[in-house]
Structure 1
Amino acid sequence: MNTATVTQLKKELNNIDRIDLINIILRFSKFKKENKELLTYLLFESANEQEYIQDIKIEMDEAFKVINTTSYFYIKKSVRKILKSVKTYIRYSNVKETEIELLLYFCKKLRRMKPSVTKNQQLLNIFTRELKNIEKKTSTLHEDLQHDYTHLLENLKS
């Protein structure tokens, strides 16, 4: 089976009536958890982006609280898991300001974590990689937002 292009799918979806389209979307949402999460975001969360960001921050707080800090191995594993879920939420939103805010919050939580991330090279690499990612994304924003986020970024670096 050859997979259709996005353009072909768009043309075909324009020709389908409303009830069939609803059935297709519902069937599509049954296959993967991510599909259902994206559909939930689009239908319920996208109208209030700030509330969406707050919910993710609360989820991050909970995830950082339950990290097993007995070994850096467990810390790295948990941090990677948290970052993976944050990046998934960022993909759903597809708003640059949301991405920067969530990554800044992630880095802030990582920076404040005990034991310190500076004592482990892999955790430090994750931290610096995300800071560079934030810098890169910030450069594409409006000047006022760039200034605000750059100030927050500089606070994290020091």
Structure 2
Amino acid sequence: MSITTYGLQHIKKETQHLSQEQLSELLLRLARYKKENKELLAYLLFEAHDEAAFIEKVKGEAGFMFSQLSALSYHAAKGMRKILRLLSKYTKFAGSKEVEIELLLSFCVNYLEYADRRTTYKPIRLILTRQVEKVRGLIGKLHEDLQFDYLESYNNLLDDAEKKLIWFKKNDYQL
């Protein structure tokens, strides 16, 4: 026997009939079971109102993690993937393309600052190229006014990458 999984519409209709006390009990019970549920609830309650401060906090945490990366390429790649998992989780919490672009641009800047530039280890190179492509795609999906805001940061990132990394070709990633 399995429990029936209901869609969001059914859940929304059912929760509209509950009192505030019952809703808070359900939220606390839900938060009890998974760490990610607690983190999302904490974000929504305490940090969603000040998105700029949240972004700066996450950038600082990612920057610290970059500064602690191993010198060995294999371990550095694992560390970068861990940072990307953290950033994607926080992006999911915020639910905004702008936040995702900000965090990924910050990741790429930190990559250029902390990653070993002489490495021939392909996974480390692919991490940067995938993130640059992801940022390019996200910027392309934004409204024209917002595209203009992020385009300068993106182009500066491409210029820096081409100067610092001999294997990076800026023309492959231009918008």
Residue identity matched to 1:82: I
1:116-127 aligned within 5 A: 116=117, 119-127=120-128
- Contact 1:96–1:137 (8 Å) recurs in 2: yes
Q: Is the 8 A contact 2:104 2:131 kept in 1?
A: yes
Provide the aligned C-alpha RMSD in A.
1.3
Paired residue type of 1:64? F
Which whole-Å CA distance do the structure 1 matches of 2:54 and 2:119 have between them? 31
Instruction: Give the equivalent residue in structure 1 for 2:89.
Output: 88
Deviation at 1:96, TM superposition (A): 1.2
Give unmatched runs, 5+ long, in structure 1: none
Task: Determine the structure 2 residue equivalent to 1:53.
Answer: 55
TM-score by length of 1: 0.94
Percent of aligned pairs with the same amino acid: 35
* Partner in structure 2 of residue 129 of structure 1: 130
Q: Which residue identity does 2:16 align to in structure 1?
A: N
| Counterpart code for 1:128 | T
Q: Which moved more, 1:90-99 or 1:106-115?
A: 106-115
Contact 1:135–1:150 at 8 Å: present in 2 too? no
Under a length normalisation based on structure 2, what TM-score does the superposition of the two structures give?
A: 0.85
How far is 1:145 from its partner? 2.1
Q: In 1, are the aligned partners of 2:140 and 2:147 still within 8 Å (CA)?
A: yes
Deviation at 1:144, TM superposition (A): 2.6
Q: Provide runs of 4+ in structure 1 moved above 4 Å.
A: none
Deviation at 1:157, TM superposition (A): 1.8
Alpha-carbon separation, structure 2, partners of 1:118 and 1:136: 27
State which structure, 1 or 2, has the greater radius of gyration over its C-alpha atoms. Answer: 2
Gapped runs of 5+ residues in structure 2?
A: 160-175
Distance 1:67 1:114 in 2: 8
CA separation of 1:102/1:41 partners in 2, compared to 1, >3 Å: closer, same or farther? same
